[in-house]
Amino acid sequence: MAISHVVGFDDGPFPRSHRGDVPVVGAVFSETTFTGVVSGRVRKDGRNATDVLARLVTGSKWAPQLQLVMLQGIALGGFNVVDLRALHRFTRRPVLVVARRAPDLAAIREALLSRVPGGARKWALVEAAGSMEPCAGVWVQRAGLGIEEAADVIARTAIHGRVPEPLRAAHLVAGGVWGGESRGRA
């Protein structure tokens, strides 16, 4: 069965000097139709992203239909790293992280271990998520689905470029609502 009901999450814009919570938007899609939005907040460089996303997914009116959770990167709000395996377990849905390019893991490790509170724990979550792998023109990490399923859902949902529409829409909504207007690429 092809995955057709997806929620894609991205965080809203915030200045580097910001302290506190950062907005997170989930764009809900049925096939290629944008059907709704969920939103919440995660602590900048905090530890609550996994719990917040799990609540947004399982507590939404779309929960019975949702088949997949997509993330625009493994961290929200700076370095609030999502535990992919725990999110998969809590939501009982596959989780797919999508990035345009392979990350610079050495730079991420250095930043986490030298400048971010709880950096060692966060780096362990990055490592536990597994290596990013090329898939359908982007790079992915995944929990609860195979690479073929990931390629299929990306191919069917990436309509305006390489980034799937649920992530592109989440990026645009988050930027527009919290930044005054959307800008940049998803």
Secondary structure, 3-state, the chain: CCCCEEEEEEECCCCCCCCCEEEEEEEEEECCEEEEEEEEEEECCCCCHHHHHHHHHHCCCCCCCCCEEEEECCEECCCEECCHHHHHHHHCCCEEEEECCCCCHHHHHHHHHHHCCCHHHHHHHHHHCCCCEEECCEEEEEECCCHHHHHHHHHHHCCCCCCCHHHHHHHHHHHHHHHCCCCCCC
Share of the chain above pLDDT 70, in %: 95
| pLDDT greater than 80 at residue 128 | yes
| pLDDT greater than 80 at residue 181 | no
pLDDT digits (tens, 9 = 90+) for 55-107: 999 999 999 999 999 999 999 999 999 999 999 999 999 999 999 999 999 99
Mean pLDDT over residues 128-157, rounded?
96
pLDDT digits (tens, 9 = 90+) for 55-69: 999 999 999 999 999
Q: pLDDT category, 179, cuts 50, 70, 90?
A: low
